[in-house]
Amino acid sequence: MTTVLEIRDLSKQFVKGDLGIVALRDLSLEIEEGAFVTVLGRSGCGKSTMLNMMSGLIPPSSGEVRFRDQKMAGPRTEVGYLTQSDTLMPWRDVSRNVEMPMEIRGVPAKERRERATDLIRRVGLTGFERHYPRELSGGMRRRASLARMLASGPEVLLLDEPFGALDAQLRSVLQAELLRLWQGSGETVVFVTHDIEEALLLGDRIVVLGRIGRVVLDREIDLRRPRDADELRVDAHFVALHKEMTEALREVR
Ligand SMILES: Nc1ncnc2c1ncn2[C@@H]1O[C@H](COP(=O)(O)OP(=O)(O)OP(=O)(O)O)[C@@H](O)[C@H]1O
Ligand SMILES: [Mg+2]
What confidence score (pLDDT) does residue 169 get? 84
- Answer yes or no: is the C-beta of 44 below 6 A from any ligand 1 atom: yes
pLDDT at 173: 84
Verify cis geometry, omega within 30 degrees of 0, for the bond prior to 226: yes
First-last CA distance in the chain: 34
- The answer to whether residue 252 scores a pLDDT higher than 70 is no
CB 24 within 8 A of CB 11: yes
Residue 117 Cβ < 6 Å to ligand 1: no
Tell me how far apart the alpha carbons of residues 22 and 15 are, in angstroms, rounded to a whole number: 9
pTM of the prediction? 0.94
CA distances for 137 relative to 82, 132, 133, 140, 144, angstroms: 17, 11, 8, 5, 10
- Per-residue pLDDT band at 47 (split at 50, 70, 90): very high
Q: What is the pLDDT of residue 3?
A: 97
pLDDT in tens, 143-184: 999 999 989 889 999 999 998 877 888 888 889 889 988 998
The alpha-carbon radius of gyration of the chain (Å, integer) is 18
Is the pLDDT score of 124 beyond 90? no
* pLDDT, average across residues 33-61: 96
pLDDT at 33: 97
Which residues are close to ligand 2, an ion, with C-beta < 5 A? 47-48, 84
In percent, how much of the chain has pLDDT > 90? 79
Say if residue 230's pLDDT is above 70: yes
Among protein residues, the one with the nearest Cα to ligand 1's atom 1 is: 14
57: confidence class by pLDDT, cuts 50, 70, 90: very high
Instruction: Indicate if ligand 1 lies below 6 Å from the C-beta of 23.
Output: yes
**pLDDT bracket for residue 43 (50, 70, 90):** very high
CB of 20 sitting under 6 A from ligand 1: no
Q: Is the pLDDT score of 253 beyond 60?
A: no
Report the pLDDT value the prediction gives residue 174, as an integer from 0 to 100. Answer: 85
Residue of the CA atom closest to atom 29 of ligand 1: 44
Look at residue 64 in the predicted model and tell me its pLDDT: 97
pLDDT digits (tens, 9 = 90+) for 190-199: 999 999 999 9
With a 6 Å cutoff on the Cβ, whether 46 touches ligand 1 is yes
The more confident residue out of 1 and 34 is 34
Say how far apart CA 193 and CA 199 lie, in whole Å.
7
Query: For position 148, what pLDDT does the model report?
Result: 94
Question: pLDDT by residue (tens digit) across 68-123?
Answer: 999 999 999 899 999 998 889 999 999 999 999 999 989 999 999 999 999 999 88
- In this prediction, residues 15-21 reach a mean pLDDT of 91
Ligand nearest to the CA of 249: 1
CB of 213 closer than 6 A to ligand 1? no
The 3-state secondary structure of the chain, one letter per residue: CCEEEEEEEEEEEEEECCEEEEEEEEEEEEEECCCEEEEEECCCCCHHHHHHHHCCCCCCCEEEEEECCEECCCCCCCEEEECCCCCCCCCCCHHHHHHHHHHHCCCCHHHHHHHHHHHHHHCCCCCCCCCCHHHCCHHHHHHHHHHHHHCCCCCEEEEECCCCCCCHHHHHHHHHHHHHHHCCCCCEEEEEECCHHHHHHHCCEEEEECHHHCEEEEEECCCCCCCCHHHHCCCHHHHHHHHHHHHHHHCCC
| pLDDT number for residue 7 | 97
Whether 32 has a pLDDT exceeding 90, the answer reads: yes
Residues comprising the chain, all counted: 253
Nearest alpha-carbon partner for 151 in 189, 84, 95: 95
Q: What is the mean pLDDT of the chain?
A: 93
Rounded to an integer, what distance in angstroms lies between the CA atom of residue 190 and that of residue 54? 10
**Closest listed residue to residue 31, CA positions, set 56, 65, 59, 57:** 65
Give the residue, by CA position, lying nearest to ligand 1 atom 30.
Answer: 44
